[in-house]
Structures are given as C-alpha cells and as structure tokens.
Structure 1
Amino acid sequence: MRLDPKSLTSQPGESIASLYIVLGDELLLVMEATDRIRAHAKDQGYIEREIFTVDQRFEWVNLFHWGRQSSLFSERRTLDLRIPTGKPGREGSAAIEKFCQDLPRDTVTIVTLPEIDKQGRASKWFKALERTGRIAEIKPVRRDQLPHWIKQRLEQQKQTTDRDTLQFFADKVEGNLLAAHQEIRKLGLLYPAGRLTFEQIRNAILDVTRFDVLQLPEAMLTADMVRYNRILEGLQGEGTAPPLILAVLSEQIRLLIKIHLAKNSSRSMTLEQAMAALRVWPSRQKLIASVFHRIHYQLLVQALLRAAAIDRMIKGVAKGDVWEELLKLGMYFAVNDNRCQNLFNITLKGALRC
C-alpha cells in the first residue's frame, strides 16, 4: 500500500501497521516521515527501539535473532532498518523476503531506503516490501518548488513574506532543505508571528550563509554556470582553500573518465553496471548518466589537463589567476557536444598525471 507522506499516520480509522517503508533522498523529509511513524508507534505503546544500519559488515542473521527475542518486559518494540545504499545484496535480498513472510510480533518495523531505480523496484525483495508494508515515497523538492516549500513552512509558524523574498531565501540556501529548515526555525525564534520584511530575512540569513564546496560539482555537472559562478565567488569571499575546491571538482572529472574507460573495455557492460562498479550512489546515477551522454571523453581529458595546470598555479610552479581558471574549468561542462569532435588529440596517460 502506498501512502501520502503528509498523511502517513493519520488515515481515518486506521491502526498502526507492522511494516513501513520510507523511500527517498531528501534527508530532512525522510527524517520527518520516520519521526511521525515513531511518534505514532510510541503513542500506542511501542516503547523499545532498535536501529540496524546495513553496511558491508552487517550480518543479516542478527535481524532474525532480534526478531525472535522477546522483550524483557514484553513491551512493544520499534525496529529501524536502514539501508543507505538501497542495495541489500544477495544475502540481504533473501533475508528481506523471509522477514516479510514472518514479521516479528509486537513490533513496528521502519525500513528506510534511498530512491530506488527501475531495476531495484523489480527485484523480489522490493516487491516483498511492497506487498507486506505501507510505502511512503518522498519526492525531492525541485529548485522551482523551493520558494513555495519555504512559504508553507513559514505559514506553519504563522509567518509570511512576499514572493521576491521567498526567491531570495531559496537562492541563499542553494536547495539544501536542512539549511532552509534551520533558517526557518531561527526566523520563528527571532520574530513574532506576522509578515516578515525582506530586511529581516536578509539579515537573519546572511549572518550564517556558507557556500558549501560540495555544491559546486552539481552546478558544474548540470552546466548551471550562473549558480557555479555564484558559489565560486562565495567560496572565494569566505577564504576557502583553492586546493580543496580543485580536489572536489577533479574527483568528478576522473570519475566520468573512469566510467568511459570501463564502458570501452567491455562492450557488454551497461552504463548502470559501470556506475555500480565505480560505486556511484543511486541518487547520483541519473545526473552522472546525463553528463556521460552529453560530454565526450576527449573533453573530459582536456578538463583534467586544465585541472593539472591549476594545480601547478596553486603550488606556484606556473603563473595565472587560480580563481579565474577554476571558473573556466567549470565552463568545460557547458560546451556544446558538437564542438567536442575536433578537440586536441590528448592521451589519457598525459591527463592522469595530475
């Protein structure tokens, strides 16, 4: 059964379920959804709580050992089963199917997963979860939806503002819902209920706004040069070390080159298999795939050579404006594909020396 995340635990006349699956990549919204389930369970007497996080060292047999244990005081329990990668593996897949066939008594189980691709949704373990539990799928908040999302959150604390100020707010938090949530809560503490002015919001946000270097690769890969330039200027103004910025951007370029090499080394390998082999997170595979199809291999090698030149400038071996060159590095991803055909003939060996 699929549920609207907003009414996850408020279906009229509906008792609490034994199994919930919360699916999505928006950390804040996933946290809020699971918090609502846990609070609802606690109200109905499910007091004890256990958390299992699935990683490479996780032993699935522990899931069944825990399920067979009776609570010391026979109290109802809540189990948080978290699978950050969304890929339980062969052993985990079989364990999940078996677990769904015989759910532990007096237990509310909450399974947390990232966004699952088409292949994952067709798997037996995911189908078992769908048949047995109630699924709440958390959709990401797009950039164009963020001002309205902020407006709704402000209204929850009886505050409002105008459309332009909402857009300013959205631009400053750069799509980070956790950051937006923190700023909204702060506005609730600083100002009373009612209409907020642009100056009030600007003063509150600018005091703590920090451009995150990890936002830069997304702007580069999506060829959003306006955003890329804004973040880069913010990092420069805050005194962020250029070697850190260069390392983060170079890592993405190398990843795309490695995907090309993996695909070229085996004609039978799909793009999805190449990304999985290189441990690209499921939540990023759609973005990486779009860049792979848009940017030619030769252009990626050229970008990596540019990164090597910037590295020499940072170390004082070569002359040049490091910040201007970092801006040009991002522009490689804004180049039209048709222009890539006549790029310089550069060997990979020369590019990887950086």
Structure 2
Amino acid sequence: MKTQANQLPQLLKKGLAPVYLISGDEPLLVQECCDQIRQAARDAGFQDRLTFHADNQLDWGTVADEFNAMSLFAERRRIEIHLPNGKVGKGKDVLEQYLEAPTDDIILLLISSRLDAAETKRKWYKSLQNKGVHVPVWPVDADKFQGWLKQRATRQGLHLTQGALAMLAERLEGNLLAASQEMDRLQLLTNGETIDEETVEKAVLDSSRFNGFELATELLAGRAPHAAKMIGVLQQEGENPLGMLTVLTRDLNLTLELKSAASQGENASAFLKKRGVFQPQRARVIEQAARRLTPPQLHHALEMCARIDRAAKGFGDLPPWHHLRDLSAFLARPN
C-alpha cells in the first residue's frame, strides 16, 4: 500500500509490515520517517540492524544470503538498503524473490531518493505494494513553507513573532534540514523566550559566521579558495553538510535546466523567477554557472554530490569534507 508521511505514525501503531519503502528528495522528512520505523521495529524486538548501500560495488548475493539466513536464537533483524539513485538495478531479482514470501524475523527498509518511474512498473515494486508500505516524501511547496516552519516551531515549544517567522522562511528558502538545525539552535539560545526578528538576526544571520548556504553559493560560483576556507570552518564547528548539499544539488539541477531552457531561447531571468529564484545574488550565480559549466561537468558534479551524501551517512573510508574539497576544485576548473 501507499501512504503519506503524516499517516505513518498511526499506521505503525496498528502493527509492522514486513517491508517499507521511504522515497523522496527531502533528507529531513525521509530521515524522520525512517527513524519512526526503526523505533517501532526496535520496540517490537527487531534489535539487530544490517545496512547495505546499492552502489556499483554492492554484492547482491550477500544481501540474498542475509534474506535466506536462519536467525540464531530467534533473533529479529532490520535490513536497510539505500537506493541513492532511485533504482534497484541488479538487485531486482533478489528483491523479487524475497518479496514473494517475506520472513517474520526481518523488517526490510528501503531508503531511496525519488523513485525512478520505471521502477514502479517492475515486479519487485508491485510485490512491495501488496506486502508492505511505500511512503513517498514530497517537498514542501514554497507557499506552504512558512506554515511548515510555524508548525515545526510550535512542536518544539518555540514562540516566534510573525516577522521572525517571515525572516526565517526567506533565509532558509525551503531547505527543511537546515530549518530543523536552525530551530534546534534557536531552542538552545532562547530558553523559552519569544523569538523576534532581532533574535533571529543575531542567532541565525550572523555575517561573521560561515554557513552552509554561503558555501553552496561559493562552490557553484567556482570560488575555490574562499570555499576551501569555509569548508575548514564548517568542519571544525561540526556542521552537518547534508543541509548545504541539498541546496547545492538543487541549484546544480536548476543550472542544468537553465542551460536547456536557454538553448531553446527562453529568457534566463524569467525562467529562474518561474522556478522560485528571486534573490538577485543566487540568480546571478546560477546564470553565471550555466554559462561557465558544460552539461557533462554539471552531471559529474551531481555524481560527486552523491558521493558526499554517501560519506556523510557513514559509507566509505573518507569524510564528506574530503569529497567537498574535491568538488570545490572541480567546479573551479576552467573548461
């Protein structure tokens, strides 16, 4: 079956399905859905967890062995498989076979970016619909983002003036992960006091402090020396790069779309406004990147972003900051 993210908590209270698929391009909402399932599974006795990442190096035979392995001492396990590009690929046969008769001692959690349309026509997905639950996670519309922020603040016990709420919404530009981080920061700094525009200005918009939004702009603009300095500061401060990565990936995709639109004679400024880009600085950087970078370069940059995402989630031997420095050098490279 398919359900919405806000219906998942109630569904979990009714009992666990053998398999869940959480798909979407909003890291925060995907993570929160996954955490709800993990907690429900732990409460039901599924304590052990195995994690696989479906990249080109994954041996799906190992996954099949885990599906077929008898649990010693009746241990219950959670098996998580990350699908970074929304495709199962070589693993479709393994999933199809398992989903024909899921076992009682395994909860399977598939975590995907926005699901590839072709995958929804495959046998494994149809079996999942019959045996499990698919939760597609959709972005929050721009006109609903301020309302989402208000709900989030209320849930965390934060009291924001309308002006403070509007300032946050403008600054965060729909980035949910960054919004969550800023809410956590405000909660620590304000200690239950009402948050006005001055408080937001001091806590969130301190221009002396580097932040992920500025880094995304510097990377796309190809300003490697300044970006390298910012990466070092953010790394030392223990920032999570995933929020910044969401912004950068969004703007790289926008740059690709702009190149295509411009080749068909569409006005760059009109195109960006239509896509919700109203800040002059951001629009200027995207326009310049569209002129400076080729489609192959932009596609490769997106692949490097996927590598950073993987490293930030604990996969691979190198930290995400290492890959970020490589990306910075790549985007600064002349044609």
- TM-score, normalised to structure 2, is 0.66
Match of 1:36 in 2: 36
User: Within 2, Cα distance between the matches of 1:141 and 1:201?
Assistant: 22
Letter in 2 for 1:291: L
The yes-or-no answer on 1:330 pairing with 2:316 is no
Conservation of the 8 A alpha-carbon contact between 1:157 and 1:193: no
Matches of 2:82 and 2:285 in 1, distance apart? 41
Question: Which segment drifts farther, 50-59 or 8-17?
Answer: 8-17
In the alignment, the residues of structure 2 paired with residue 142 and residue 29 of structure 1 have an alpha-carbon distance, to the nearest angstrom, of: 14
Q: How many residue pairs get matched?
A: 257
Describe the superposition over 1:237-281 as per-residue Cα deviations: whole angstroms up to 9, x where unpaired: x98259x9xxxxxxxxxxxxxxxxxxxxxxxxxxxxxxxxxxxxx
Alpha carbons of structure 1 residues 11 and 333: separation in structure 2 relative to 1, 3 Å:
same
Q: Secondary structure at the match of 1:105?
A: coil
Match of 2:57 in 1: 57
2:216 to 190, 214, 218: 214
Q: Secondary structure at the match of 2:135?
A: strand
Alignment of 1:192-341 (within 5 A): 192-193=191-192, 195-207=194-206, 208=209, 210=211, 211-215=213-217, 240=226, 287=254, 290-291=257-258, 293-296=260-263, 327=284, 330=287
* Equivalent position SS for 1:96: helix
Counterpart residue type for residue 169 of structure 2: A
Change beyond 3 A, Cα 1:137–1:70: same
The structure-2 alpha-carbon separation of the partners of 1:216 and 1:127, relative to structure 1 and needing over 3 Å to count, comes to: farther
1:66 deviates by 0.6
User: Does structure 2 retain, via aligned residues, the 8 Å contact 1:187–1:204?
Assistant: yes
- Which amino acid is 1:166 matched to? L
How far did residue 153 of structure 1 move?
A: 1.1
Give 1:119 shift.
2.8
Displacement of 1:287 after TM fit?
Answer: 4.9
Counterparts in 2 of 1:77-88, with a 5 A limit? 77-88=77-88
**Structure 1, gaps ≥5 residues long:** 219-231, 245-281, 300-323, 335-351
Deviations 1:52-105 (CA, angstroms, capped at 9, x unpaired): 11110111111221122233332211111111111222x312222112112133
Give the superposition deviation at 1:215: 5.0
Q: Residue 176 of structure 1 corresponds to which residue in structure 2?
A: 175
**Secondary structure of 1:7's partner?**
helix
Contact 1:2 1:135 in 2 (8 A): yes
SS where residue 8 of structure 1 aligns?
helix
1:143 matched residue in structure 2? 142
In 1: Cα distance, 2:289 partner to 2:12 partner: 54
Larger radius of gyration: 1
8 Å Cα contact 1:85/1:113 also seen in 2:
yes
- Report SS of the residue matched to 1:137: strand
How far apart in 2 are the matches of 1:19 and 1:288?
Answer: 37
What is the alpha-carbon distance in structure 1 between the residues aligned to residue 225 and residue 13 of structure 2?
57
User: How far 1:155 moved relative to its partner?
Assistant: 0.3
Find the residue that maps to 2:115 and give its secondary structure: coil
Instruction: Give unmatched runs, 5+ long, in structure 2.
Output: 231-248, 267-280, 292-332
**Are 1:157 and 2:156 an aligned pair?**
yes
Cα distance change on mapping 1:171 and 1:41 into 2, 3 Å:
same
Alignment match, 2:105: 106
1:165 deviates by 1.9
**For residue 184 of structure 2, what is the aligned residue in structure 1?**
185
1:73 is aligned to 73
How far does the alpha carbon of each residue in 1:140-166 deviate from its partner, in whole angstroms, 9 at most, with x for none?
Answer: 123332222211111012222233321
- Aligned AA (1:296): S
Tell me which amino acid in the other structure corresponds to 1:93: K
Change in Cα spacing, 1:209 to 1:329, as seen in structure 2 (3 Å) is closer
TM-score between the two structures when normalised by the length of structure 1: 0.63
Contact 2:81–2:110 under 8 Å retained in 1: yes
Query: Contact 2:21–2:135 (CA<8 Å) still a contact in 1?
Result: yes
Task: Decide whether the 8 Å contact of 2:12 with 2:40 is kept in 1.
Answer: no
Seen in structure 2, the aligned counterparts of structure 1 residues 176 and 353 have a Cα distance that, compared at 3 Å, is closer
The CA deviation string for residues 128-185 of structure 1, in whole angstroms up to 9 with x for no partner, is: 3222211111111233322222111110122222333212112223433222111101
Contact 2:255 2:286 in 1 (8 A): no
Q: Is the 8 A contact 2:80 2:108 kept in 1?
A: yes
Mapped partners of 1:199, 1:3: distance in 2: 41
2-structure distance, mates of 1:6, 1:331: 40
